[in-house]
Amino acid sequence: MTIDETARPRGKRGPYAKSEEKRGLILEAALEVFAQSGYRAGSLRDVALKVGMSEAGLLHHFQNKSALLAAVLERRDDHARDMIDFSGPGRKTLTDLIELVRYNSTIPGVVELYCILSAEATSPDHPAHAFFVDRYQDTTSSITGAFTDMEQRGQLRPGINPAAASRALIALMDGLQVQWLLNRDSVDMVEDIRGFLSAVATEPF
Protein backbone atom coordinates (compact mmCIF):
# COMPACT_ATOMS: atom_id res chain seq x y z
CA MET A 1 0.00 0.00 0.00
CA THR A 2 1.30 3.47 -0.78
CA ILE A 3 0.86 6.25 1.71
CA ASP A 4 -1.09 8.44 -0.69
CA GLU A 5 -2.88 5.83 -2.77
CA THR A 6 -6.03 7.92 -2.81
CA ALA A 7 -4.17 10.85 -4.31
CA ARG A 8 -2.26 8.84 -6.89
CA PRO A 9 -3.86 8.62 -10.32
CA ARG A 10 -4.41 5.01 -11.36
CA GLY A 11 -4.29 5.54 -15.12
CA LYS A 12 -1.01 5.66 -17.00
CA ARG A 13 -1.90 7.63 -20.13
CA GLY A 14 -2.13 11.28 -21.10
CA PRO A 15 -2.21 13.74 -18.20
CA TYR A 16 -2.08 10.89 -15.66
CA ALA A 17 1.24 9.61 -16.96
CA LYS A 18 2.55 13.16 -16.83
CA SER A 19 1.32 13.59 -13.25
CA GLU A 20 2.91 10.30 -12.28
CA GLU A 21 6.18 11.42 -13.85
CA LYS A 22 6.02 14.77 -12.04
CA ARG A 23 5.35 12.93 -8.79
CA GLY A 24 8.48 10.84 -9.29
CA LEU A 25 10.55 13.96 -9.98
CA ILE A 26 9.23 15.63 -6.82
CA LEU A 27 10.10 12.59 -4.71
CA GLU A 28 13.65 12.36 -6.09
CA ALA A 29 14.14 16.10 -5.53
CA ALA A 30 12.75 15.81 -1.98
CA LEU A 31 15.02 12.85 -1.26
CA GLU A 32 18.02 14.96 -2.33
CA VAL A 33 16.94 18.02 -0.33
CA PHE A 34 16.29 16.07 2.88
CA ALA A 35 19.45 13.99 2.41
CA GLN A 36 21.44 17.21 2.26
CA SER A 37 19.64 19.37 4.81
CA GLY A 38 17.78 17.00 7.14
CA TYR A 39 14.21 17.03 8.36
CA ARG A 40 14.17 20.38 10.12
CA ALA A 41 16.40 22.38 7.79
CA GLY A 42 15.09 20.88 4.54
CA SER A 43 12.07 22.83 3.32
CA LEU A 44 9.28 22.18 0.85
CA ARG A 45 10.31 25.50 -0.71
CA ASP A 46 13.71 24.01 -1.61
CA VAL A 47 12.00 20.96 -3.10
CA ALA A 48 9.60 23.16 -5.09
CA LEU A 49 12.50 25.30 -6.37
CA LYS A 50 14.38 22.18 -7.48
CA VAL A 51 11.49 21.00 -9.67
CA GLY A 52 10.48 24.49 -10.83
CA MET A 53 7.09 24.52 -9.12
CA SER A 54 5.35 26.51 -6.39
CA GLU A 55 4.85 24.95 -2.97
CA ALA A 56 1.11 24.84 -3.62
CA GLY A 57 1.70 23.12 -6.96
CA LEU A 58 3.90 20.60 -5.23
CA LEU A 59 1.33 19.85 -2.53
CA HIS A 60 -1.28 19.35 -5.25
CA HIS A 61 0.41 15.99 -5.93
CA PHE A 62 0.17 14.89 -2.29
CA GLN A 63 -2.45 15.20 0.44
CA ASN A 64 -0.24 17.17 2.82
CA LYS A 65 3.35 17.62 3.95
CA SER A 66 3.30 14.42 6.07
CA ALA A 67 2.07 12.42 3.08
CA LEU A 68 4.86 13.85 0.92
CA LEU A 69 7.46 13.02 3.56
CA ALA A 70 6.13 9.46 3.94
CA ALA A 71 6.17 9.07 0.15
CA VAL A 72 9.81 10.20 0.19
CA LEU A 73 10.57 7.41 2.66
CA GLU A 74 8.62 4.96 0.53
CA ARG A 75 10.79 5.93 -2.44
CA ARG A 76 13.86 5.43 -0.25
CA ASP A 77 12.48 1.99 0.73
CA ASP A 78 12.23 1.20 -3.00
CA HIS A 79 15.90 2.13 -3.42
CA ALA A 80 16.77 0.03 -0.34
CA ARG A 81 14.88 -2.98 -1.71
CA ASP A 82 16.93 -2.73 -4.90
CA MET A 83 20.04 -3.19 -2.74
CA ILE A 84 18.75 -6.23 -0.88
CA ASP A 85 18.22 -9.72 -2.27
CA PHE A 86 15.24 -11.11 -0.35
CA SER A 87 14.87 -14.19 -2.56
CA GLY A 88 18.31 -15.72 -2.08
CA PRO A 89 19.86 -17.43 0.97
CA GLY A 90 19.10 -15.71 4.31
CA ARG A 91 22.75 -15.06 5.04
CA LYS A 92 23.05 -13.15 1.75
CA THR A 93 19.97 -11.04 2.60
CA LEU A 94 21.51 -10.08 5.96
CA THR A 95 24.90 -9.35 4.36
CA ASP A 96 23.06 -7.02 1.95
CA LEU A 97 21.44 -5.35 4.98
CA ILE A 98 24.89 -4.51 6.37
CA GLU A 99 25.60 -2.77 3.05
CA LEU A 100 22.32 -0.85 3.40
CA VAL A 101 23.45 0.36 6.84
CA ARG A 102 26.74 1.46 5.24
CA TYR A 103 24.79 3.35 2.56
CA ASN A 104 22.54 4.95 5.22
CA SER A 105 25.60 6.32 6.98
CA THR A 106 26.25 8.41 3.83
CA ILE A 107 22.78 10.03 3.90
CA PRO A 108 22.26 11.34 7.48
CA GLY A 109 19.52 13.75 6.36
CA VAL A 110 17.34 10.91 5.09
CA VAL A 111 18.09 8.85 8.21
CA GLU A 112 16.98 11.84 10.31
CA LEU A 113 13.78 12.17 8.27
CA TYR A 114 13.06 8.47 8.74
CA CYS A 115 13.88 8.55 12.44
CA ILE A 116 11.60 11.51 13.22
CA LEU A 117 8.74 10.48 10.96
CA SER A 118 8.63 6.88 12.27
CA ALA A 119 8.57 8.20 15.87
CA GLU A 120 5.82 10.75 15.13
CA ALA A 121 3.83 8.13 13.20
CA THR A 122 3.55 5.91 16.27
CA SER A 123 0.52 8.06 17.20
CA PRO A 124 -2.58 6.33 15.77
CA ASP A 125 -3.95 9.66 14.48
CA HIS A 126 -0.79 10.49 12.46
CA PRO A 127 -1.36 10.46 8.66
CA ALA A 128 1.56 8.06 8.12
CA HIS A 129 0.58 5.68 10.96
CA ALA A 130 -0.88 2.89 8.77
CA PHE A 131 2.08 3.15 6.38
CA PHE A 132 4.57 2.56 9.20
CA VAL A 133 2.52 -0.24 10.81
CA ASP A 134 2.52 -2.06 7.45
CA ARG A 135 6.18 -1.24 6.81
CA TYR A 136 7.32 -2.72 10.11
CA GLN A 137 5.16 -5.80 9.66
CA ASP A 138 6.57 -6.42 6.16
CA THR A 139 10.18 -5.80 7.18
CA THR A 140 9.92 -7.99 10.31
CA SER A 141 8.42 -10.78 8.24
CA SER A 142 11.10 -10.57 5.49
CA ILE A 143 13.97 -10.59 7.99
CA THR A 144 12.37 -13.41 10.00
CA GLY A 145 12.39 -15.34 6.71
CA ALA A 146 16.12 -14.71 6.31
CA PHE A 147 16.90 -15.90 9.86
CA THR A 148 14.62 -18.95 9.40
CA ASP A 149 16.55 -19.87 6.24
CA MET A 150 19.81 -19.59 8.21
CA GLU A 151 18.30 -21.75 10.98
CA GLN A 152 17.34 -24.45 8.46
CA ARG A 153 20.89 -24.44 7.07
CA GLY A 154 22.32 -24.77 10.60
CA GLN A 155 23.85 -21.28 10.36
CA LEU A 156 22.01 -19.86 13.39
CA ARG A 157 23.36 -20.32 16.90
CA PRO A 158 21.20 -22.84 18.87
CA GLY A 159 18.54 -21.14 21.01
CA ILE A 160 18.24 -18.10 18.72
CA ASN A 161 14.62 -17.55 17.68
CA PRO A 162 14.32 -16.18 14.10
CA ALA A 163 11.35 -13.87 14.87
CA ALA A 164 13.01 -12.46 18.02
CA ALA A 165 16.29 -11.99 16.11
CA SER A 166 14.37 -10.12 13.39
CA ARG A 167 12.67 -7.76 15.88
CA ALA A 168 16.02 -7.22 17.61
CA LEU A 169 17.89 -6.48 14.37
CA ILE A 170 15.29 -3.91 13.27
CA ALA A 171 15.23 -2.34 16.75
CA LEU A 172 19.01 -2.23 16.76
CA MET A 173 19.16 -0.51 13.35
CA ASP A 174 16.57 2.07 14.48
CA GLY A 175 18.09 2.65 17.90
CA LEU A 176 21.66 2.95 16.65
CA GLN A 177 20.49 5.59 14.16
CA VAL A 178 19.32 7.79 17.07
CA GLN A 179 22.69 7.40 18.83
CA TRP A 180 24.55 8.07 15.58
CA LEU A 181 22.51 11.16 14.71
CA LEU A 182 23.05 12.56 18.21
CA ASN A 183 26.81 11.93 18.08
CA ARG A 184 28.44 10.61 14.91
CA ASP A 185 31.58 9.57 16.79
CA SER A 186 29.73 7.55 19.41
CA VAL A 187 28.86 4.60 17.20
CA ASP A 188 29.95 2.75 14.04
CA MET A 189 26.57 1.45 12.89
CA VAL A 190 28.05 -0.97 10.35
CA GLU A 191 30.36 -2.62 12.89
CA ASP A 192 27.68 -2.83 15.60
CA ILE A 193 25.18 -4.46 13.22
CA ARG A 194 27.86 -6.83 11.95
CA GLY A 195 28.71 -7.67 15.59
CA PHE A 196 25.06 -8.47 16.35
CA LEU A 197 24.73 -10.74 13.30
CA SER A 198 27.98 -12.49 14.16
CA ALA A 199 26.74 -13.05 17.72
CA VAL A 200 23.58 -14.87 16.58
CA ALA A 201 25.25 -16.83 13.74
CA THR A 202 27.53 -19.86 13.85
CA GLU A 203 30.05 -18.06 11.57
CA PRO A 204 31.08 -14.38 11.85
CA PHE A 205 29.67 -11.92 9.28
The Cα–Cα gap between 203 and 54 comes to: 54
Out of 80, 100, 170, 190, name the contact with its own copies by CB under 8 A.
170
3-state secondary structure of 156: strand
Please, what is the minimum distance in Å from the beta carbon of residue 117 to its own copies? 8
Residues 92-121 touching its own copies, rule: CB under 8 A, are 112, 115-116, 118-121
How many of the other CB atoms lie within 10 Å of CB of 124?
8
- Picking from 117, 135, 134, the residue whose alpha carbon sits closest to that of residue 126 is 117
Q: Is 7 in the site for its own copies (CB under 8 A)?
A: no
User: Strands, E, within the chain: which ranges?
Assistant: none
Q: Give phi and psi for 201, each to the nearest 5.
A: -100, 160
Per CB under 8 A, the segment of 2-10, 21-29, 64-72, 123-131 that binds its own copies is 123-131
Question: Given the complex with its own copies, which of 78 and 191 has the nearer CB atom?
Answer: 191
The nearest distance, CB 129 to its own copies, in angstroms, is 8
Closest CA to 2 of 25, 20, 17, 29: 20
Among 16, 43, 178, 202, binds its own copies (CB under 8 A): 178
Taking the CA of residue 132 as centre, how many other CA atoms within 13 Å lie in the half-sphere pointing to its CB?
A: 22
Considering only residues 33 through 62, tell me which ones interact with its own copies, judged by CB under 8 A. 38-41
Task: Determine, following the binding rule CB under 8 A, whether residue 83 of this chain makes contact with its own copies.
Answer: no
Distance CA 184, CA 54 (A): 35
Residues that bind its own copies (CB under 8 A): 38-41, 112, 115-116, 118-123, 125-126, 129, 132-133, 136-137, 140, 159-161, 164, 167-168, 170-176, 178-179, 181-183, 186-187, 192, 195-196, 199-200
